[in-house]
A = this chain, B = another copy of it.
Amino acid sequence: MPHDDVHPVSLTCGDCPIRHRAVCARCDVDEIEELEDIKYYRSFEAGQTVVWAGDKMDFVASVVSGIATLTQTLEDGRTQMVGLLLPSDFVGRPGRSGAAYNVTATTNILMCCFRKKPFEEMMERTPHIAQRLLQMTLDELDAAREWMLLLGRKTAREKIASLLSIVARRDAPINHAAQTSEVTFDLPLTREAMADYLGLTLETVSRQISALKRDGVIVLEGKRHVSVPDMDRLLMEAGDDSDGGFLI
């Protein structure tokens, strides 16, 4: 099972050393034998849709590797991303059968799925699971609300800077922990996906990235690889107070 360095704690085994937001594959196998028959793996290729909004979704899942997005759309095609699923993130809603959003793989992705009915039954029997899910959901709610501030009140430049600092934090936690002021990472999203996340057009995204590059806030190698010489400067551009919170 693909499960290299990352070892996120499972919902179902709360005393793993590393705390993370996930239902974890390996962990479950070790600890909860009954999960064996309600769990299965599915992989999707970049660009594939995992579920459409409104479709029946009879599982919950956690991302093992790759990246997926949650999006909502209006009839005329305007789309807004409302969530970004990175490895170890959880998706699905116990207690509701229909999916509320489109879930799309932006890279090749492997998901660890749990059939919903048995998962819910397990939740009934194991209070710890509901409590853990509650914590995770509250975290996501905070992230969503932080995102509302971004969508409603930030300028295009601030939006881009915010997104970059969030990706920097999630994508390069090692750099960050080491207090290196130079941080480096790959953008996991196309310009269009960034635009959908930020409530902008892809042209504006491109222009603002160019502007940040011109002003020395970031350094680009190719289109996707980003270096941030001074993380504090980027955070300042993002307009957040102090440590910028806990987005995504």
Contacts and interface: CB of A to CB of B under 8 A. Distances in A.
Interface of A: 70, 72, 74-76, 78-80, 82-83, 93-96, 100-101, 123, 127, 130-131, 133-135, 137-138, 140-142, 144-149, 151-154, 198-199, 239-241
Contact of A100 (B145, B154, B199, B241): B145
Nearest to A82: B145
Nearest to A120: B131
How often does this chain occur in the complex, in copies? 2
A145 B145 contact: no
A151 to B, nearest CB: 4
Contact of A199 (B74, B83, B93, B152): B152
Contacts of A94: 134
Nearest to A100: B142
A94 B199 CA distance: 32
Contact of A95 (B76, B138, B144, B152): B138
